[in-house]
Structure 1
Amino acid sequence: MIIEVLKSKIHRVKITQAELNYVGSITIDEDLIEAANIIPNEKVQIVNNNNGARFETYVIKGERGTGTICLNGATARLAQVGDIVIIMSYAYMEMDEARQYQPILVFPDGDNRLIK
């Protein structure tokens, strides 16, 4: 049996931009996506802690070290600049592998930067 499990999570980052007139996606600082083992174009689920919205989109690599978390296109309607979100990616695994797998959890600072 194959199940879907949490692969990685970027926990509690702040929305820095919302660009309604864009094709769609979420732009994430390259430092954060690398730390979370997320790749450009990967599907992610986003949970907005401020309003409860949950939605899916794909990742665009943002400029490294900037702390950028930008909702593009229609997703820009689901959060405001300053809202706190959790970004999660999932993977399909065999049950035995899923039991052993430990997701990658990233806890950035208040400026969306990696804590060193």
Structure 2
Amino acid sequence: MQRIMIKSKIHRATVTDANINYEGSITIDKQLMELSNIIPGEKVQIVNINNGARLETYVIEGKENSGIICLNGAAARLCQKGDIVIIISYALMEDMEAINYKPKIVFVDEKNCPL
């Protein structure tokens, strides 16, 4: 049996921008992507702590050490600059791998610098 498990998470990031005119996605600081084991094009779930919205999109790599967390396209309607979000990626795992897997969790400060 395979299970969908949390692979990684960026916890309580602050949205730095929302660009409704972009084709869609979320732009994430390259450093945060590397620390959380998220790659460009990967599907992620975004949970908005401010308004309860949940959405899925794909990741675009942002400038390293910029702190950027920018919701693009339709996702920009669900998150505004200053909102606090949790960014979660999942992976399909066999039972034994799922039991032993430890997700990468990155905690950040109010400027999206890793703690």
Do both share a fold (TM > 0.5)? yes
Matches within 5 A, 1:16-95: 16-95=16-95
1:99 aligns to what SS in structure 2? Answer: helix
The Cα RMSD (Å) is 0.5
- Uncovered stretches (5+) of structure 1, i.e. residues with no partner: none
AA partner of residue 51 (structure 2): N
Cα distance per residue 1:38-69 (max 9 Å; x no partner): 00000000000000000000000000011000
Q: Hey, what's the Cα distance between the residues in 2 that align with 1:100 and 1:114? A: 25
CA displacement at 1:114 relative to structure 2: 1.6
TM-score normalised by L of structure 1: 0.98
Q: Hey, what's the Cα distance between the residues in 2 that align with 1:34 and 1:106? A: 10
Number of equivalenced pairs? 115
Q: Hey, what's the Cα distance between the residues in 2 that align with 1:16 and 1:69? A: 5
Q: Hey, what's the Cα distance between the residues in 1 that align with 2:106 and 2:64? A: 16
After superposing on structure 2, the runs of 4+ consecutive aligned residues of structure 1 that deviate more than 6 Å are none
TM-score normalised by L of structure 2: 0.99
Q: Hey, what's the Cα distance between the residues in 1 that align with 2:69 and 2:44? A: 13
AA partner of residue 59 (structure 1): V
Q: Hey, what's the Cα distance between the residues in 2 that align with 1:113 and 1:65? A: 8
2:6 aligns to what SS in structure 1? Answer: strand
Q: Hey, what's the Cα distance between the residues in 2 that align with 1:22 and 1:63? A: 17
- Uncovered stretches (5+) of structure 2, i.e. residues with no partner: none
